Amino acid sequence: MTKYFAVLNVRTFIVLLISLGSCFLAINFDIRYDYDTTLISIAIIFPLVFTIRAAFSRREKAMEHLSRFKAGLMTIYYCFQNTGKINDEQKREIAKVLKGVPEVMNAYLMKQKNEVQVKVQIKSIFDFIQVHNENISGGLSIKIFRFMKDVHQGAESVMAINRHRTPVSLRAYCLLFIYIFPIIYTPAFLYKIDLETPQFILYMITVFKGFILISLYNVQDHIEHPFDQNGLDDIRLKDYELDI
């Protein structure tokens, strides 16, 4: 249930305070003017929609790369389990190494490990092959290295997605205009309504519009970080661990 309140944060209360303050000042000082609020709406909606779509695209690509990453590891596991040239103890050893790779990757994505530790864990597969080189045929090594490409490609792609975000400047621009929106909107809306309209209508509509905009921005921010396991739309990283 707490995840449904994840869109509420400090930014939400800042916008609500700005909205209430704008209404109070506009009413008490009779600040009103004729202004087309469509312009300010475009300044917010366009970057907001763009960043939400970009963040969602990042999330989808991350799942695609994680799937390739897991598929490569599972295929390598089957390659080792299918050969009779290494004993059962060695098969359990490489299974433990392979199982540790997505665990370290998930810990990195949740900011508990760093990239170097992920690369070291992946390299341990190659180290195992080197140590047991006499028991692993050249043909099997070539097959494993071919699937190692998927593992490396998936890992590097996911780490790149984790490092790079949607355009920071556009998100900052969007947030700035969300903060400014109530200040510009309130006098323009006050100009259009009847003088006998109850004041709470102005408060209610301004606060409601500000809340919608900042909530959408917060949703985008959660999709922007799909690995932290805090949002409703986060990637379920446990699904990409090896059940072996």
pTM reported for the whole predicted model = 0.85
Residues of the chain with pLDDT under 70: 1-4
Burial of 179 (0-12, 13-18, 19+ CB in 10 A): middle
Size (the chain), residues: 244
Q: What is the pLDDT of residue 239?
A: 94
Q: Over the stretch 81-124, which tens digit does the pLDDT of each residue have?
A: 988 788 889 999 999 999 999 999 999 999 988 999 999 999 99
Q: What is the pLDDT of residue 41?
A: 76
Q: What HEC string does the chain produce?
A: CHHHHCCCCHHHHHHHHHHHHHHHHHHHCCCCCCCCCHHHHHHHHHHHHHHHHHHHHHHHHHHHHHHHHHHHHHHHHHHHHHCCCCCHHHHHHHHHHHHHHHHHHHHHHCCCCCHHHHHHHHHHHHHHHHHCHHHCCHHHHHHHHHHHHHHHHHHHHHHHHHHCCCCHHHHHHHHHHHHHHHHHHHHHHHHHCCCCCCHHHHHHHHHHHHHHHHHHHHHHHHHHCCCCCCCCCCCCHHHHCCCC
Burial of 51 (0-12, 13-18, 19+ CB in 10 A): buried
Q: What is the pLDDT of residue 17?
A: 97
Q: What is the pLDDT of residue 113?
A: 87
Q: What is the pLDDT of residue 2?
A: 63
Long-range CB pairs of 197-201, under 8 A, 24+ apart, other chains included: 199/23, 199/27
Q: Are 29 and 221 in contact (CB under 8 A)?
A: no
Q: What is the pLDDT of residue 206?
A: 94
Q: What is the pLDDT of residue 196?
A: 77
